[in-house]
């Protein structure tokens, strides 16, 4: 089995708001191995992007605080790194592609200037070498006429091309880990498929590990090796991708799968999980999904289920339905 590149250990990221403390990431532990794609899924506000921001050390103080845990990258705890050490890692060892390329690219700089900057900063290339490598990268992500695109501004490109440029910038310094935060959400379906193909191709060519953040289980099925399902700041299920789709255990995961449209299947209305995500400042020491769950028992309202394997060691769930203690309450 490949070596672990990133290990989140009991990560706690909190935000201090006027209404109280929001535990956006609550005791989260998982690993990403070398060359592996790990899909992190869940509804908006479940903590998936904050987990990635914590890894990049982009959680903004004083409101946002990493309150506990460790994030090991190649065995070293990133939370102990100072600003200078972190800026050496960011963009070089770990890079990120955001959801909306238009707001991530600088509108007043040419594409060439934006790709060459990290090459000169992290790889210490001179201007001429950086330009050569930038043109190679533009071509690598499948954009024709790379020399011409080098001098273009972001507004002159389509959404799909801008996202390809974001991928080129993210890959410019051969990162070991690429974080893709909803990389295809803002794109139409055809371009979405092209971007996913491109990421898959680049991953097999370059061997980069990917942390893929999405709410789209279709994207996870196509791309991920392993899946983490988050709800209200916690991991509630994790499994290898085929196992998760074959045998989902947690009622929330089952709901997400049921809510996915199926081609050629007539449905009067698309299923949606009833209720709302709970108010993050009012979470108790219970199953956070309890008031949306059709299987809710008394114990679910008062006690948090343990997160552990029930059968296959790689498939873990936090649900009282799979615990002896829970079965006694049925």
User: By the criterion CB under 6 A, which residues form the site for ligand SF4?
Assistant: 250-251, 287, 289-290, 293, 295-297, 300, 305, 319-321
Cα separation, 77 vs 93, whole angstroms: 14
Looking at residue 292, the DSSP 8-state letter turns out to be G
Neighbours of 136 (CB within 10 A): 13
**How buried is residue 12: exposed, middle or buried, by Cβ count under 10 Å (0-12/13-18/19+)?**
middle
Least distance in angstroms from the C-beta of 314 to ligand SF4: 20
What token pair was written down for 100?
Answer: 């909306």
Neighbouring residues of 159: CB distance < 8 A, sequence distance ≥ 6: 101, 102, 186, 187, 188, 191
Looking at the Cβ atoms of 92 and 254, the one nearer to ligand SF4 is 254
Minimum CB distance to ligand SF4, residue 239 (Å) = 16
CB 85 within 8 A of CB 73: no
Bridge partners of residue 214, in order along the sequence = 41
Residue 59 or 273: the one with the smaller Cβ distance to ligand SF4 is 273
Tokens of 83: 């600003």
Nearer to ligand SF4, 98 or 322 (CB): 322
Minimum gap (Å) between residue 101 Cβ and ligand SF4 = 37
Closer Cβ to ligand SF4, 251 or 278, answer by number: 251
Nearest to 102 by CA among 146, 65, 157: 157
Least CB distance to ligand SF4 at residue 45 (A): 18
Q: Which is nearer to ligand SF4, 30 or 231 (CB)?
A: 231
CB closer to ligand SF4 out of 154 and 251: 251
Residue of 76, 103, 68 whose CA lies nearest to 181:
103
Q: How far is the CB of 283 from ligand SF4 (least distance, A)?
A: 13
Least Å distance, CB 253 to ligand SF4, is: 10
Minimum separation from the CB atom of position 290 to ligand SF4 (A): 4
Half-sphere exposure of 22 (CA within 13 A, CB side): 17
Q: Which is nearer to ligand SF4, 21 or 296 (CB)?
A: 296
């Amino acid at each position: 089995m490949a070596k672990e590149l990133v290990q989140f250990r009991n990560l706690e990221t909190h935000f201090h708001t006027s209404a109280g403390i929001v535990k956006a990431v609550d005791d989260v532990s998982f690993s990403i191995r070398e060359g592996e794609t790990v899909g992190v899924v869940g509804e908006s506000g479940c903590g998936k992007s904050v987990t990635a921001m914590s890894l990049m050390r982009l959680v903004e103080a004083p409101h946002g605080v990493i309150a506990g845990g460790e994030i090991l990258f190649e065995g070293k705890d990133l939370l102990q790194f100072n600003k200078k050490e972190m800026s050496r890692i960011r963009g070089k060892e770990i890079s990120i592609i955001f959801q909306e390329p238009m707001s991530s690219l600088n509108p007043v700089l040419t594409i060439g200037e934006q790709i060459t900057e990290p090459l000169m900063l992290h790889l210490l290339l001179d201007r001429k070498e950086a330009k050569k490598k930038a043109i190679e990268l533009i071509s690598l992500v499948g954009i024709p006429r790379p020399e011409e695109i080098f001098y273009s501004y972001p507004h002159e490109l389509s959404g799909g091309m801008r996202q390809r440029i974001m991928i080129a910038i993210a890959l410019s310094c051969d990162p070991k880990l690429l974080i893709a935060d909803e990389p295809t959400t803002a794109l139409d379906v055809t371009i979405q498929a092209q971007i996913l193909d491109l990421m898959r191709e680049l991953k097999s060519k370059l061997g980069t590990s990917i942390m893929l953040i999405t709410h789209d289980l279709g994207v996870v099925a196509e791309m991920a090796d392993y899946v983490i399902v988050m709800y209200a700041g916690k991991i509630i299920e994790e499994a290898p991708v085929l196992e998760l789709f074959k045998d989902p255990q947690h009622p929330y995961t089952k709901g997400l799968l049921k809510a996915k449209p199926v081609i050629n299947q007539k449905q009067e209305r698309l299923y949606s999980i009833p209720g709302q995500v709970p108010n993050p400042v009012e979470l108790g020491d219970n199953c956070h999904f309890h008031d949306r769950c059709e299987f809710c028992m008394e114990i679910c309202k008062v006690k948090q289920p343990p997160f552990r394997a029930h059968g296959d060691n790689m498939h873990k769930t936090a649900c009282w339905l799979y615990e002896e203690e829970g079965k006694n309450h049925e």
